[in-house]
Structure 1
């Protein structure tokens, strides 16, 4: 499990395209991993927690509709 800290700028590479305000709102609601204060002016997130968040979002999506079979009598 990675304990690497990643900055806001790296979240996009992980598939998180939310703005800073939306991330803050989701954090406050307990729906996004909490940030880690790195310094007075910088925050980051634990990489493994972001990866798990993205995996959960993928798992929560609705399944794709099954394609219709063409030419098959029901």
Structure 2
């Protein structure tokens, strides 16, 4: 399992921090995992799955 920090998640998704946290609050993006007192990260498999779902749901 690999943990991604915010800059890597933003780069993978193309979304800025504010949009990621908006999606998290609406239940539309995986919640981060607490790594320490002031640090969080995302499980790469969950982010990859979210991206795959977005890809599959797009209209042609």
Report the TM range for the smaller structure's normalisation: 0.7 to 0.9
Identify which of 27, 40, 45 aligns with 1:43: 40
Residue in structure 1 matched with residue 53 of structure 2 by the alignment: 56
RMSD of Structure 2 on Structure 1 (CA): 1.0
Unmatched tracts of structure 1, length 5 or more: 64-74
Deviation (angstroms), 1:29: 0.8
- Is 1:21 the counterpart of 2:18? The answer is yes
TM-score normalised to the size of structure 1? 0.73
Higher alpha-carbon Rg = 1
Unmatched tracts of structure 2, length 5 or more: none
Residue in structure 1 matched with residue 5 of structure 2 by the alignment: 7
Where is the helix percentage greater, Structure 1 or Structure 2?
2
TM-score normalised to the size of structure 2? 0.88
Moved over 4 A (4+): none
